[in-house]
Amino acid sequence: MVVEHDEDTIRRAAHVIDLGPGAGKVGGKVIGAGTAADLMRNPQSLTGKFLAKPLQHPLHPPRAVNRETPSIAIKGATLHNLKRVGVRIPLARFTAITGVSGSGKSTLARDVLHAQLSALLSKNNSIKTSTYKNISGWELVGRVLEVDQTPIGKTPRSCPATYVGFWDAIRRLYAETTEARVRGYTASRFSFNTAGGRCETCEGQGLRKIEMSFLPDVRVACETCHGARFNPETLAVTFKGKNIGEVLAMNVDEAVEFFSAHPSIHHALTLLQDVGLGYLTLGQQSPTLSGGEAQRIKLVTELSKVRPNADDASQRAGRADAQKATLYVLDEPTVGLHMADVEKLIRVLHRLVDADNTVVLIEHNLDVIADADWIIDLGPEGGDAGGRIVAQGTPRMLAGKPERSHTSRVLAEFLTSRTTGVA
């Protein structure tokens, strides 16, 4: 028995158990069981829906890449198994780095591109540059950021609402209520990080840690606040009939409607929906989040810097100079994602690029690869037999020469049945 999201694996399985219909509070039910064909006939199965009607590519009109496209050029990269690799990263484009396991993808993306750009942008001369001969075009980048799957916080007080940044706006709403003004409460009263308004038994965590000697520690709901994080006086203040503890217990989907009249909060919440995290509660303790959930929350934090009217380049990401944008590096962000979430992720990545940012990701998922503007394919094999650029170009260019690499071959087969016909 395996837990799996890979489409080909699901199609080949003798028996599939599909849970849903959604995630979080709206999940936990067996929607269907049987073969992949059985799921496709089940109108309640989201998995069956995507099996019956797979994504068609491209989801976003391809962005041109030509000689005039501003790019970062790396020459003579030799770190680990890379063999004097020369590569071009087009800016303001969506680039996928592909290849078999061990072909050098992570080395190129993380250890060369990300590490060296970080050093150059921070003017850190302590990082050795012997891993490459020359790098050019980096001056057009304002910053480089690796959006990884590391936790977003180390304590239960950290949560999606605080990390994304809209919790302060919620605290101000409660401070502006009539009841709060009568009591003399300010926004600080509604912070679970400071004394005064929080529950002091659990220090605003909502949980108590019980040490179990030689066994792992156990966390249980605080016996005083019962997980609400605040003291009774603070919880007596309500906004639209709910106290601040009840707001923390809302999931994102519920909160979108609740804060519909408050643009700054509503915008951040809809972004969380857009990346498939509508099931998370606003106050979900960050240590309980999976790596994939943490990564998508980080993407939301970046997207929140892009104003809704992103067509106006002067307002994109609050930058005065739209040319000095961000280069994002992601390592296999689709790991653990359902097919429906993969589609949402692709659209989110395109939104970042539409705001003049550059996205570079390491990926094996063909849906993501097929929607990239540019592909850098390493190989031909892994280990000592890898470390070379075997193909570079658009998805159509690689698919047009299936003999070039493993990626080219499978991509050609994939696009034959998954193309929208968009030029």
- Output the pLDDT for position 132: 85
Cβ neighbourhood burial of 395 (10 Å; 0-12, 13-18, 19+): buried
DSSP 8-state class, residue 61:
P
Same domain, yes or no: 347 and 373: yes
Q: Is residue 270 part of a domain?
A: yes
> pLDDT-derived band of residue 12, with 50, 70 and 90 as boundaries?
very high
The string of DSSP letters for 165-192 reads T-HHHHHHHHHTSHHHHHHT--GGGG-T
Is the confidence at residue 322, as pLDDT, over 80?
no
Is the confidence at residue 407, as pLDDT, over 70?
yes
- Output the pLDDT for position 130: 67
Same domain, yes or no: 332 and 410: yes
pLDDT > 70 in the chain, percent: 94
Q: Which residues of 223-246 are buried (b: 16+ CB within 10 A; e: fewer)?
A: eebebbbbbeebbebebeeebbbe
Give the type of residue at 284.
Q
Q: Mark which of 256, 287, 318 sits at the end of a domain.
A: 287
Q: Is residue 422 part of a domain?
A: no
Same domain, yes or no: 304 and 397: yes
| Residue numbers of the domain that contains 353 | 71-149+290-417
Instruction: Mention every residue, 6+ apart, whose C-beta is less than 8 A from residue 2.
Output: 9
> pLDDT-derived band of residue 421, with 50, 70 and 90 as boundaries?
low
Same domain, yes or no: 92 and 174: no
172-183 pLDDT, tens digit per residue, is 999 999 999 999
> pLDDT-derived band of residue 57, with 50, 70 and 90 as boundaries?
very high
Is the confidence at residue 127, as pLDDT, over 70?
no
- Sign of the CA dihedral running 116, 120, 122, 125: positive
Q: What would the two tokens of residue 61 be?
A: 């009109």
* Predicted structure pTM score: 0.89
Q: Rounded to 5 degrees, what are φ and ψ at 156? A: -60, -15
Same domain, yes or no: 30 and 85: no
Same domain, yes or no: 306 and 268: no
Q: At 207, which CATH number?
A: 1.20.1580.10
What is the enclosing helix (H) or strand (E) of 347? helix 339-354
Closest among 144, 57, 138 to 359, alpha carbons compared: 144
Q: Mark which of 260, 287, 314 sits at the end of a domain.
A: 287
Label the pairing between strands 215-221 and 207-212.
antiparallel
Contact predicate 13/32, CB 8 Å? no
Same domain, yes or no: 131 and 176: no
| Rounded distance between C-alpha atoms, residue 79 and residue 257, angstroms | 50
Same domain, yes or no: 302 and 388: yes
Q: Is residue 45 part of a domain?
A: yes
| Rounded distance between C-alpha atoms, residue 171 and residue 176, angstroms | 9
Q: Mark which of 234, 264, 287 sits at the end of a domain.
A: 287
- Output the pLDDT for position 272: 97
Same domain, yes or no: 234 and 336: no
- Output the pLDDT for position 391: 96
Is the confidence at residue 104, as pLDDT, over 60?
yes
| Rounded distance between C-alpha atoms, residue 375 and residue 109, angstroms | 13
Is the confidence at residue 213, as pLDDT, over 80?
no
Q: Is residue 391 part of a domain?
A: yes
Is the confidence at residue 156, as pLDDT, over 90?
no
Same domain, yes or no: 228 and 313: no
Same domain, yes or no: 283 and 309: no
Q: In what order do the strands lie in the sheet with 325-331?
A: 141-146, 325-331, 358-362, 94-98, 374-379, 388-393
Same domain, yes or no: 363 and 387: yes
Q: At 411, which CATH number?
A: 3.40.50.300
- Output the pLDDT for position 339: 94
